[in-house]
Amino acid sequence: MNKHLILFALAIAILLASCGDDALLDTELNIVASMNGQELQFGQQYTTDQDQGLYFTLFKLYLSELEIVDEAGVATSIADVLLHDLENPESYKVELEAGNYTQLRFGLGLDETLNQSDPNDFEVDHPLSYAQNTHWGWASLYKFMMLEGRCSENAEDDLYNTTFAYHTGTDSLFRQLELPLNLEVEENGANSIQLSINMDLLFGANAVNVVEENFSHSGIEELPLAIRITDRMMEAFSVN
pLDDT tens, N- to C-terminus, the chain (240 residues)? 455 545 455 555 544 454 444 589 999 999 999 999 999 999 999 999 999 999 999 999 999 999 999 999 999 999 999 999 999 999 999 999 999 999 999 999 999 999 999 999 999 999 999 999 999 998 899 999 999 999 999 999 888 999 999 999 999 999 999 999 999 999 988 899 999 999 999 998 889 999 999 999 999 899 999 999 999 999 999 998
Ramachandran angles phi, psi of 198, nearest 5°:
-90, 100
Among 34, 43, 84, residue whose Cα is nearest residue 63: 84
Q: How far apart are CA 136 and CA 140, in angstroms?
A: 6
Specify the pLDDT at position 7: 46
pTM (2 d.p.): 0.89
With b for 16 or more beta-carbon neighbours within 10 A and e for fewer, the 90-100 pattern comes to eebebebeeee
Q: Is 55 exposed, middle or buried (0-12, 13-18, 19+ CB in 10 A)?
A: middle
Distances (CA, A) of 212 to 27, 125, 163: 42, 37, 11
Distance between CA 151 and CA 130 in Å, rounded? 30
